[in-house]
Amino acid sequence: MFHITAGTKIGFFIAALKRHLALLVFNFMLLLVSCGGIYFLFYANDGLNLFEIIVIAFFIAILTLISIVFLYMNISSIRYYYEKEIVKKYGRYRDADIAEMTRETDTKDGVIRCTISVNYAGERLTDLFELPLDESHLLPKLLAMQKVPIRVVDAMPSLFSIAERKLLKELRTKV
């Protein structure tokens, strides 16, 4: 049975939270502005006409909606990095059969993004692998591969990631 202690879970959560601290502070500021606007609208609105109240309420609604969307995106991203921390600590290297691979070149970031779907333990799992643009000569080797190294938590196969360094090493040494 796979068990993670509460202290380890908190450590993983803090590591994932550190990546999003600036966005969470920004989100908190938006919520404060929204709450301040609501307070102003209901308690300190001496002398406002109906049109001004409607305009202020509209902007408060927009700020609240933006804040909710940011919060949802941050929670989703924090969960992603939390799971990556679990994989980093408890994951084991395995080989998985490639089911599907798509690629997209991003010259702005200088990478080729390959979305790789693998079949492992009866499940189809998908992850992103970024190949540096200056190593684009390795792309045909990647496309010809039948198996890729992954790092997976055996007790929870849905927690996995492509073993990027190991894959790059295999691509560089493959004839």
The single-letter code of the amino acid at 59 is F
| Measured distance between the N- and C-terminal CA atoms of the chain, rounded to whole angstroms | 41
Mind listing the pLDDT tens digit for each residue in 97-140? 888 999 898 888 889 899 999 998 888 999 998 888 888 888 88
The predicted structure's pLDDT at residue 94: 92
Contact indicator for 113, 133 with CB cutoff of 8 Å: no
Average pLDDT on 62-72 reads 89
The span from the CA of 15 to the CA of 13, in Å, is 5
